[in-house]
Structure formats: C-alpha cells, structure tokens
Amino acid sequence: MKILRRIAAFATCLTMIFPAVTVFAREVLPSPNITPISGRITEITNHGYVIHIMTAHGSIVHFLQTNFTFLLGEHITVGDSVTIFHDASLMTAAVYPPQYEGLLIVNEQDVNIIFGYLQNDIKYYDNIPIYFQNGHDFRELIGQADLYQVLENRLAAIIYDTNNEISKIVIMSEPERPLPGVYVNSIHLPAASWHIIHGTTFVPLRSAVEVLGFGDTIAWDNGTITLSNGSEVIRFSIGSTTAALTHPAILIDSTTFVPISFFYNVFPKATITLVTR
C-alpha cells in the first residue's frame, strides 16, 4: 500500500511529492497533526466500533470507528492490512493499549493521500467527488451555498490514484459555522432546500414534514395537498392561500415548496432556521 507516511512540512513540498500535480502547492496548507498507523486487524469488537490493530513492531493499538470515520475501501475484516489516520493533537485517555478516534481507514492498494487545509484557489475541484466524513455527498449537504466559500480552510484528505490524479476529496473537519441551508429542529435539509422569491423564503414541504415526523400524512389528489400535524388536517392547492398559507405554494422541479411561515403556523413547536452563509 503506497500511503504517504509523512505529511509535508511546507506547501511547496507538495510539488516535489507530486510533480504532475502542482495546483495544491498553493491550495493546501499541510496539517502536521494527522498521523497514520499501519497494521493488521486482529479483532473488531463492540459491534464494529472498536478496531484492534497490531503494527509491524508488535504493538497493539485500538481505533474507535464512529459515524464520522471515512472508510476508503469496500469493507474491513479481521486479517486486513490497513492504515488508519488519527488527529495526534487530540488528548486521549491514558490507557493501554492506546486508543484513538479513527478519521480515515484506508483498505485500498495503490493510493496516495495528503491531509491539508483547503485554500481559496480551488476551481479545480469542479468534477471531483467530495464527501463528508460520514460518506455523504458534500455538495448535497451544502445545497445552494457557494462550494468554494464553504470549502476554504477546511481540513481535507486529498486522495490520489496511481496516475497521481485526484480521485476524491474527503472533508474531515466540522464547519466552524453551520452549513448553509434550512434546519428543521436542528436537522439540516438536503440540497436545494430553500428558495427566496420576492423576499419570501420557501422550503420543500415533504422534506421538512418528514423531519417533523408527519411525512406519512402527506397526500396529493388532483392538485390538492393534504397533511396532518397530529391534531388537525390541512388542505391546500398549488397557487392558493389559506389561513396557514399566507403565500401560495409553488412547484419547483416537481417539488412542492411552501413559505417558511407555514411551519410556524401549522407546527408551532417546530424550530425552523435558515442559514444563508
């Protein structure tokens, strides 16, 4: 496995490591705290959450596999030789064997990886798959927000194939501020989750209602939409208004959007928040 064992000390070193790929010399600030440990998996316990690794020197290391551990490879099993990256700057409990939280598990051959903080000149990422740590498509998570603005200064794993071409980027750091979009009870809605039309914010009806737990109450019949909030039944049509619907519902790409005020009126206990940037 051709994993980079040492993270570059200066951004200019990246052009020496990958002479055919020069864009990252100015686009990535290296992260010295991300450390790889390689070894063979001897055991997987706690329903898959704890991975036991034996290094080439015979040392035992435990890694926690969380919802934010990215697996590069189809799966892992006992006997696999893997490399697991962790943040060495994080404090860990004084236990033996040592225990770390895994950021990235590599179970693929012939890949090169650089960790770094993404910088502003990142137009080369347009056609490259970008994922968040939990495997979700990053572009879907940010919706209509400016990709480059959201990516700037984010810690990422930049993964190269055998031809030194970037195959994917994995965003490793939590955002310093919430991702742009609509949050229903603190849950971020998927892409295209809002539109502002003539000063009114519209959000997708089904996505929001499903988060609130009433998705199975929605029905469409000849242009009439029916749903329940648990205590009453609400009916309205595209283009019409009601007491709860102060602006007409609209269709965008076959998705029904309603003004954000609709949820304040129909689901008064819900928390609906719009983050634009």
pLDDT tens for 253-268 read 888 899 888 888 888 8
Contacts of 254 (CB under 8 A, 6+ apart): none
Instruction: Please answer whether residues 242 and 225 qualify as being in contact, where contact means their C-beta atoms are separated by less than 8 angstroms.
Output: no
Judged against a pLDDT cut of 60, whether residue 102 lies above it is answered with yes
- Rounded CA-CA distance 49/100 in Å is 12
Distance of CA 55 to the CA centre of its chain: 30
Mean pLDDT of 158-165: 83
Instruction: Please answer whether residues 238 and 202 qualify as being in contact, where contact means their C-beta atoms are separated by less than 8 angstroms.
Output: no
Tell me whether the omega of the peptide bond preceding residue 97 falls within 30 degrees of 0, making it cis. Answer: yes
Three-class DSSP category at 3: coil
Domain architecture of the chain: domains with CATH: 1-176 (2.40.50.320), 181-275 (3.30.457.10)
CA distances from 109 to 5, 114, 161, 235, 261 (A): 14, 15, 10, 56, 52
Judged against a pLDDT cut of 90, whether residue 41 lies above it is answered with yes
pLDDT band at residue 198, thresholds of 50, 70 and 90? confident
pTM: 0.53
Per-residue model confidence as pLDDT tens digits over 164-185: 888 888 887 655 555 667 778 7
Q: How many residues does the chain have?
A: 277
The larger pLDDT score, comparing residue 118 to residue 248, is at 248
- Rounded CA-CA distance 25/10 in Å is 9
Distance of CA 72 to the CA centre of its chain: 15
Mean pLDDT of 71-91: 86
Among 59-68, 89-98, 125-134, the range of highest mean pLDDT: 59-68
Mean pLDDT of 202-222: 85
> Which tokens hold the place of 94?
């004084």
The residue to which tokens 């590599």 are assigned: 106
Q: What is the CB-side half-sphere exposure of residue 227 using CA atoms within 13 A?
A: 23
Q: What is the pLDDT of residue 167?
A: 86
